[in-house]
Structure 1
Amino acid sequence: MTGNAAASPQGVAAPALAILGSLVSVNAGAAWAKGLFPVVGSTGVVALRVGLSALILLALVRPWRFALRRADVPNIVIYGVMLGAMNLCIYRAFERIPLGIAVAIEVTGPLAVVILSSRHARDFLWVICAAIGLWLLLPVAGASALDPVGVAYALAAAFCWAMYIVFGKRVSSLDGGQAVSLGLLAASVFVVPFGVSHAGGDLLAPAVLGGGLAVALLSSAVPYTLEMKALKRLPQRVFGILVSAGPAVAALAGFALLGERLTSLQWLAIGLVTLACGGAAATASRPS
């Protein structure tokens, strides 16, 4: 009965709005972060976002209350390092290319995980769709005038996101938010030294700390909370389809908040990647 309610238009409306709110919050946080780049650089912003998020979650979850198996430690460390590296790479990409394009390239990481775990040939149609979108974005054969270094960072973020999913699955059985909180702790140990070496004492300026806290809340705390609420009321497939709108929302946020203007070809490419992500979520095999 609950599942039917969740699948009905009335049941989908509220969680769908939560997903939309999550996507808007994430990209508002990214836009806010770009405003801090001239002050402390992308690495400084990542250090603030990940470090403050880790402190907040550690205080809320208190993961030391739960037993931790020795075998889980390496997976948590890799999970956290991939999370930290993903943030470093995507924020470096944000420095050089528009938000929507960076996110469109980045989401090919989780898309690859979905496709590679599929047993149906039909799902490879979405590979073709995403590949065409990427071709239109990548600076190859004159297809795009984007900064190749920014594109490379976005591709690295896509790989890190894929690995984050793989290793996140391995620690998903841990109690409560233990995996996420300890993963963020590992991520902060990895990324904070980069931020400190680049920005030094500027990270402790009240205005910078306040901006970093806003980024941490907008890009982590608020969207994660909204997504968890939506997941409780939506079928996983519907959730995946809604979340696939991320690149399009990022492009709109970049236009509205940062004045980033894309060409018609770039909008087409983002649309193709978004379609591939939504299609893969819609046709992916149901878990047994």
Structure 2
Amino acid sequence: MTAWQTAAGRLPVTLWLLAAVLLAQFAAALSVPLIHRNGSMSITALRMAWAAGFLLVVARPRLLPLDARRLMAAGILGLTTAAMAFFFFAAVARIPVGTAVSIEFLGPLTLALAGSRRARDVVWALLAALGVWLLTHGVGGAVDLVGCGFAGGSAVCWACYILLTRRVGRVFTGVQGLTFSLCVAALVGLPLGILPHWHSIGLVPVLLMALIALLSPVGVYSLEMACLRRMEPRRFGILMSLEPAAAALMGFLVLGQRLSLTQLLGMGCVTLASLGTVAASPKKT
């Protein structure tokens, strides 16, 4: 293990983050066939349950002291996490993964642009709006607008998730806040996606979702945390802006999903708007 850690430590941190980006979208693409077979509610609930279980084993959070402020913060974040996951996987059940991630990315992008007084940020906002129009226009209006609506709901939840994560980070130490919030999300998913369909899910999807949950969010989160310790936040944000492109790539390689030229242009607009917003943001000292 020490030799492996030494070898991994010698790799450029950029490769770690690129691996995290690709791993997250690979896991999402792997989930799509299971979603079509068992439904998005069941698969999403299984993913959250396994992720919470793994983090409980790894993080081993202390149950005490947990005051009302901490419980409230973790609970609200958990509800938001559950809603974000349910919306996203309902979206990828209906539209290509690349399209869903591009629309979902509007959440953090809007948050980054909110309150900005820089004139150039208007350009990025307009470019993002053009990207959404292209993504939802498709070819001959054939895009599933319900799926796009689910992705939009996930985008709203993602923006809220970022704000709530900051708050949880102030009242918890380490990964305890994340662990408790995922436990809340898992508890939400239990009556919605697991208990009503338990007899029809089968053992194979349960085990496959365990493997997928190990990839993402557990593996992805671990890589991202390691990168944030060694990487400047602006550079981190720029590389994370590649997620829509990574999603389209994994959608094609794993699922054979092909995006139209219009959709590819829309995805490119959203990605460029995100890159421009992060790259042009003032450095934090």
Query: What is the alpha-carbon distance in structure 2 between the residues aligned to residue 30 and residue 225 of structure 1?
Result: 17
1:196 aligned partner: 194
Query: What is the alpha-carbon distance in structure 2 between the residues aligned to residue 193 and residue 209 of structure 1?
Result: 16
1:85 CA displacement: 0.5
Q: Deviations over 1:223-279 (max 9, x none)?
A: 111111111111100000000000001001101110101111111110110111111
In the alignment, is the contact (CA less than 8 A) between 2:46 and 2:194 conserved in 1?
no
Name the SS for the 1:171 alignment partner.
Answer: helix
- State the one-letter code of the partner of 2:53: L
In the alignment, is the contact (CA less than 8 A) between 1:123 and 1:284 conserved in 2?
no
1:137 aligned partner: 135
Which shifted more, 116-125 or 163-172? 116-125
2:162 aligned partner: 165
Name the SS for the 1:134 alignment partner.
Answer: helix
Query: What is the alpha-carbon distance in structure 2 between the residues aligned to residue 78 and residue 192 of structure 1?
Result: 17
1:224 aligned partner: 221
Alignment of 1:285 onto 2:285: no
Task: Pick the aligned partner of 2:255 from 250, 254, 258.
Answer: 258
1:199 CA displacement: 2.3
- State the one-letter code of the partner of 1:228: M
Query: What is the alpha-carbon distance in structure 1 between the residues aligned to residue 111 and residue 49 of structure 2?
Result: 28
Q: Deviations over 1:45-93 (max 9, x none)?
A: 1011100100111122122255333223222111111111100000000
Alignment of 1:16 onto 2:14: yes
Rate the CA distance shift 1:187–1:177 in 2: closer, same or farther, 3 A.
same
Task: Pick the aligned partner of 1:247 from 238, 244, 249.
Answer: 244
Alignment of 1:274 onto 2:280: no
Name the SS for the 2:116 alignment partner.
Answer: coil
1:139 CA displacement: 4.5
Query: What is the alpha-carbon distance in structure 1 between the residues aligned to residue 256 and residue 191 of structure 2?
Result: 32
Q: How does 1:1-288 map to 2 (within 5 A)?
A: 14-65=12-63, 67-139=65-137, 144-173=141-170, 174-203=172-201, 205-287=202-284
1:14 CA displacement: 1.4
In the alignment, is the contact (CA less than 8 A) between 1:79 and 1:164 conserved in 2?
yes
Rate the CA distance shift 1:287–1:217 in 2: closer, same or farther, 3 A.
same
- State the one-letter code of the partner of 1:219: S
Rate the CA distance shift 1:99–1:12 in 2: closer, same or farther, 3 A.
farther
Rate the CA distance shift 1:64–1:144 in 2: closer, same or farther, 3 A.
farther
How many percent identity over aligned positions?
A: 36
1:13 CA displacement: 6.8
Ranges in structure 1 where 5+ consecutive residues have no aligned partner: 1-10
Query: What is the alpha-carbon distance in structure 2 between the residues aligned to residue 183 and residue 156 of structure 1?
Result: 19
Name the SS for the 1:64 alignment partner.
Answer: coil
Query: What is the alpha-carbon distance in structure 2 between the residues aligned to residue 42 and residue 187 of structure 1?
Result: 15
Name the SS for the 1:105 alignment partner.
Answer: helix
Name the SS for the 1:50 alignment partner.
Answer: helix
TM norm structure 1: 0.90
In the alignment, is the contact (CA less than 8 A) between 1:247 and 1:274 conserved in 2?
yes
2:5 aligned partner: none
Query: What is the alpha-carbon distance in structure 1 between the residues aligned to residue 234 and residue 60 of structure 2?
Result: 32
Name the SS for the 1:68 alignment partner.
Answer: coil
Name the SS for the 1:96 alignment partner.
Answer: coil
RMSD over aligned Cα atoms: 2.0
1:197 CA displacement: 4.9
Name the SS for the 1:172 alignment partner.
Answer: helix
In the alignment, is the contact (CA less than 8 A) between 2:61 and 2:179 conserved in 1?
yes
Rate the CA distance shift 1:150–1:197 in 2: closer, same or farther, 3 A.
farther
Which shifted more, 131-140 or 50-59? 131-140
Query: What is the alpha-carbon distance in structure 2 between the residues aligned to residue 143 and residue 30 of structure 1?
Result: 27
